Structure formats: C-alpha cells, structure tokens
Amino acid sequence: MTVRRPMKRSWRGALPCVVLAGGAALHAGSAVGADAAADANVSAAGAAASPAAAAAACTAKRPTVSFNRWQEDWSALANPCVPRKPFDALKYIRLGDDPSTYLSLGANLRERFELNNAPLFGLGAAHDDNYVIQRANVHADLRYRGHFQAFVQFVDARPFGKDTVGPVDKDQLDLEQAFVAYVDQLGPGTFKTRIGRQEMAFDLQRFVSVRDGPNVRQAYDGLWTDYEIGKWRLIGYVTRPVQYRNAAVFDDVSNRHLRFDGVRVERTGTGPGDLSAYWSRYTRDNARYPDASGTERRDVFDMRYAGKTDGFDWDVEAMLQTGHVGQDTVGAWAFGALGGYTFAKTAGTPRIGIQVDGASGDAHPGDRRVGTFNPMFPNGYYFTLAGYTGYSNLIHVKPSLTFKPASSVTVLTAVGFQWRQTTADAIYGQGMSAVPGTAGKGGAWTGMYAQARVDWLVNANVALALEAVHFQLGSSIRALGARNADYLGMEAKFGW
C-alpha cells in the first residue's frame, strides 16, 4: 500500500526566489542552428568610429539574453544610439581603442518548484516528493579584435527538500564552461574553433543536448572545429563529457570512462528546409544492460531535415546505432518527427501539431545482440518536463494545440499516447533508468498523458512557466504494481 505523505515544508525557504527570479530563454530551439548563427558573433565588429558611420549604424539593435550566453555579442553597446539599461557598464567594458575588444559580465538564475507523486510510476525506490531546484550561473566573456574569445562560466546547482538527489540534481560551486575560441577567414570560407569545457547541442536536442531540463546541464571537455562556406558547414568534434561530482567545490572532471567524437555536415536552403547529417562514436567503459555488459562502443549515424513554408513547419530526424557492448553486437534505431500548421491570420495565431517518435528495444534478450536504443545525451524535457519516460523502447504519438492569448504568453495543450516497441524490454525513464519489473511483463500499451503548459515572457530578462502533466497507465502495467502519475512544475528564470 502506498502511503501518501503531506507536502513538505522544506522547500518554502527557497520558494520566494521562484517569485523573484526569471529568465529570458524559454526553450533551446534548434541548438546547432543557434550555434551556427551565434558563432559568427565572435567576429562581429563594434560600432563605427566616425560620426557619419555612427549615424548609419543606428539601425543596430540592442543584444538580447540568449539560451547559450557565450553566443551574445555586446559590442553593439559601443554605438551611442543603442538604448541603455542599468548596469550596461558591466555588459560592455571596452578595452582599448578597438570597439570589438571588450569584456562582458552576466548572470542567470533559475528556480523551479516540482511536485511529482510517482517517479518511475511508483515502482522504484523514489517516492512522491515536492521540492525546489535552483541553478545559478555567473560568467565573463572576453573578446579581442573580433577574432578571439575567452569565456568562463561558473555554476551552483542545488535542490531544496528533495529526498532522492542524483548527479543531475546537484553540482555545488564549479566550473560550467571555460574555453577559448578563434574565428577568421580561411580562403573563401570562415574557420572557427573552440577548445576547453563547453556546451554543445544538435538540432532539437533529442540525442545530443545541454540537458537544460534537469538542474545540472551537460558540458563537454573537448575540441570543436568547423568551416563554413556558402550554404555548407563542416564540423568536427573530439570530447569527453564532464563527470559531475559533489564531494567538494570545483571537483567536476572529464569523464575518463566516456568519449563522444564525430563529424557533421549541414546545408541550409535545401529546398524549403535545412539538411544535416553526422557520424559519431560513443564509447563508454563498464556499460551494463539486462543481458550485456562491458565496453560499449556505438557508431551513430544521424540525418535530419527541418523547415517551414506557407504556414507549415516540420522537423524529422532518424538515427541508426551499430557497434558492440562487450562481446554482444548492437543494432538499434530511433526516429522523431514534429509537424504542424500555424494559422497566422487567426487571433492567437493557433498552431495544430503532431509529434511521432520511436526507439527500438531489445526484442530478443539473450541472443547476443543489444537492441535497446541509447539516447546518449537527451535534453530531459523533449516529451514533457515531468520526464516520466525516456527515449528507449517506445512508440510515442502526441497531437497538440499551441496558441498565444497575448504576444508574450504561449499556451500549449497536448495529449500523448505511448507504447513499448517490444514488451521483451522494459519501460525506460530518464537516463535509461528501467522501470523495475516491466521487462518481459505487461502489454505493449504503456498509457497516455495530458499536458498543459503556459510560458510568459515578462520582459527581456524575466520569464515564468507553469506545466502540469497527468500520466494514465495501461491496466497491464498497473497490474505490476505501478500507478498513475501527476506532475506540477512552476518555473522562474532571470537572465542578465
């Protein structure tokens, strides 16, 4: 029998911060697309020095706080015609005569209250809980003559009143990012590189992300290089994802047991959309699956096409994984598809959408072939902020309706339907956590959920969000002892 606990009071000390905090970045969006556009900011020059040029440059816009803070270019504040705000003297500290040589300071604070009454549908060790998670960042961004960048960002992520605390919940004061970047013309194109601790993400962050949903974001220690020419962009990366520890401050290290390397190609303007593809090698020591263990090496092949035209929008991605886990071979796949139509001339600009996702499971345990798809570095809120299920062994269909009752307010309503791709494998939560007792038991039908979310961009620095999810399990899963789940999240962000 499940014992319901009263809501705890331990989060109340932190809850006022939820009201006071906020942030400018509501969603990551298309991460590599933003990365491509904002990488060019490293080379952006400041305002012209002569009065005539300054007058012509008065079309310059004030920079905005972005999801990835290192992508911002505050050299526009060298132009006196750009509107000023308090503390701009710290956003643009000019160093020398060149307006593109400057130092910029910034900060972020995210507070979220969460109520989750059935983690892993009540079958795991975790029980119903309510708590506050807090993430605070400060950073310094140094630019030199439009070619060099040195970026340092610190993080302090803490839960308040959370009973089960994992690596994605807590990271006391540590180094989130610290890298140097260089950009310059090379032949007919542009060469860019970054080396050090950095965040990276691809596309909608289905499989490679900064993991913004949980409290601790994912960074990578490595080298990133790309070359852009015309509509083409060629990328190479060699990384070790950061291993987050909490024994002391500044104790995060490169993960000696995990590597992620690869190459990627992108082409914009391919028909009405953009096309991208990449190969990566994912290598992990001491991997453990229900019927395989040992060194995991996956060769990952991914292709994506996304675009919009005449009110329609779409984003389609497919991934194939081969390789081995110990002596067992790997053969896994996944796909994700989003599409919709926006009624631009209708009040509230409603958008009707459909989302279809699938990922393989291990259909034949014991056959020396691992079929479970490994989502690698998922963002943690691709399905919902509740994170009840992960991107392994599932078929997922989700119709939705989005509308804007005001220019700064977005409302999303959706219903999701979910099945297991194979009943021989388990239901998986975030981080490939198998829901205990579900492998080989129960039917394919996992259940359905209802989701409602409201985002309010209060101003350029503050954003608020509210999300509620109810997951109704299928009867064969409830027969295993699982129960329906409810989630409520209230979030506030501040970015300066």
Q: List, as one string, the DSSP characters of 284-316.
A: EEEEEETTEEEEEEEEEEEEEEEEEETTEEEEE
Per-residue pLDDT tens digits for 321-365: 999 999 999 999 999 999 999 999 999 999 999 999 999 999 999
* Closest residue by Cα to residue 495 from 473, 467, 464: 464
Q: What is the mean pLDDT of residues 293-320?
A: 97
Collapse the DSSP code of 230 into the 3-class scheme (helix H, G, I; strand E, B; otherwise coil) and give the result.
coil
User: Which 3 state secondary structure label does DSSP give 269?
Assistant: strand
Exposed, middle or buried by CB within 10 Å (0-12, 13-18, 19+), for 192?
A: buried
Contacts of 97 (CB under 8 A, 6+ apart): none
pLDDT per position as a tens digit, 249-267: 999 999 999 999 999 999 9
Q: Do you know the residue count of the chain?
A: 496
Distance CA 409, CA 67 (A): 18
Of the listed ranges 33-37, 121-125, 203-207, the one predicted with least confidence: 33-37
405's tokens: 């009752």
The average pLDDT across 44-65 equals 60
217: pLDDT strictly greater than 60: yes
Longest dimension (CA), the chain: 77
Mind listing the pLDDT tens digit for each residue in 70-110?
Answer: 999 999 999 989 999 999 999 999 999 999 999 999 999 99
- Beta-carbon contacts of residue 350 (< 8 Å; ≥ 6 apart): 342, 343, 401, 402, 403
Task: Output Rg (C-alpha) for the chain, integer angstroms.
Answer: 23
